[in-house]
């Protein structure tokens, strides 16, 4: 586990949706911030006297590219001290204390069966990192399905980029799924669960990666096991 704290400089901020922002952060002490796709960093934010109550973790949304800059995508949580601080106080040029990379939510060593990336909201971040890395490195991989659930079209993150990746990568399939959109949406409706259950009607071997809100993850774990899959097939990263 990486216990070293670094100084990060915010180089760019972009409003992605009405309540999410993309933050680019450079770590000047390093020439290469080396990490595995799927890992996260932890900030120490000045929001509490107790150390462990100041720490907030975010998955890295960019892929390892040999540089010392990473991208995060962060949602403003109602009443959330960490995200409120980042949205209100942090500007381009601001400094943040961070450590990482951390976590074991990474691609399987043996990619011998289909992979289902199931996420809600900013839970898409680690999967974006994984898929872009596989494309960039031209690594062989099985069929991969990214099932991204949110409420409305306006809440979709990285939508154009994911469609573009799906066009370039024959084995990457993008399934945006909206639970509340009514006007002009031609894609999947409802929740992520119906999508993977339908795709896996044949019960073929698969790896499942779940990232997002606890409610979605809890339900997905139950449903995937009810389909006959083993708990060892399920990997998860919890948000909130």
Section 110-115 average pLDDT: 93
pTM: 0.95
The whole-number pLDDT of residue 1 equals: 54
Section 85-100 average pLDDT: 97
- Structural contact between residues 61 and 67, judged by C-beta atoms closer than 8 angstroms: no
CA dist 120 and 175 (Å) reads 12
pLDDT at 240 exceeding the cut of 60: no
How would CATH label the architecture of 114-239? Answer: 3-Layer(aba) Sandwich (3.40)
The whole-number pLDDT of residue 186 equals: 81
CB atoms within 10 A of CB 170: 8
CB atoms within 10 A of CB 227: 14
The ranges assigned to domains in the chain are: 5-102, 114-239
- Beta bridge mates, 5: 99
Q: Which of 125, 173, 126, 120 is nearest to 149 (CA)?
A: 120
How would CATH label the architecture of 5-102? Answer: Beta Barrel (2.40)
The whole-number pLDDT of residue 100 equals: 95
Q: Which residues of 183-217 are buried (b: 16+ CB within 10 A; e: fewer)?
A: eeeeebeebbbebbeebbeeeeebbbbbbbbeebb
Total number of residues shown for the chain:
240
The whole-number pLDDT of residue 2 equals: 62
């Amino acid at each position: 586990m990486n216990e070293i704290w670094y100084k990060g400089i915010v180089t760019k901020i972009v409003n992605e949706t009405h309540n999410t922002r993309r933050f680019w952060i450079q770590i000047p002490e390093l020439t290469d911030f080396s990490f595995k796709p799927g890992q996260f960093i932890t900030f120490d934010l000045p929001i509490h006297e107790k150390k462990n109550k100041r720490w907030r973790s975010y998955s890295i949304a960019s892929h390892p590219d040999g540089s010392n800059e990473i991208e995060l995508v962060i949602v403003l949580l109602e009443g959330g001290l960490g995200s409120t601080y980042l949205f209100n106080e942090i500007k381009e040029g601001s400094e943040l204390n961070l450590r990482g990379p951390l976590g074991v939510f990474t691609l399987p060593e043996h990619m011998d069966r289909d992979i289902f990336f199931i996420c809600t909201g900013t839970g898409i971040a680690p999967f974006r990192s994984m898929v872009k890395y596989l494309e960039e490195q031209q690594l062989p991989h099985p069929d991969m399905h990214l099932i991204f659930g949110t409420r409305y079209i306006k809440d979709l993150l990285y939508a154009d980029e994911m469609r573009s990746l799906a066009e370039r990568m024959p084995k990457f399939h993008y399934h945006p799924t909206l639970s509340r959109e009514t006007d002009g949406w031609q894609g999947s409706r409802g929740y992520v669960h119906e999508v993977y259950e339908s795709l896996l009607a044949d019960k073929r071997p698969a790896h499942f990666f779940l990232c997002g809100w606890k409610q979605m993850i809890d339900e997905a774990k139950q449903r995937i096991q009810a389909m006959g899959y083993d708990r060892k097939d399920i990997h998860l990263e919890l948000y909130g």
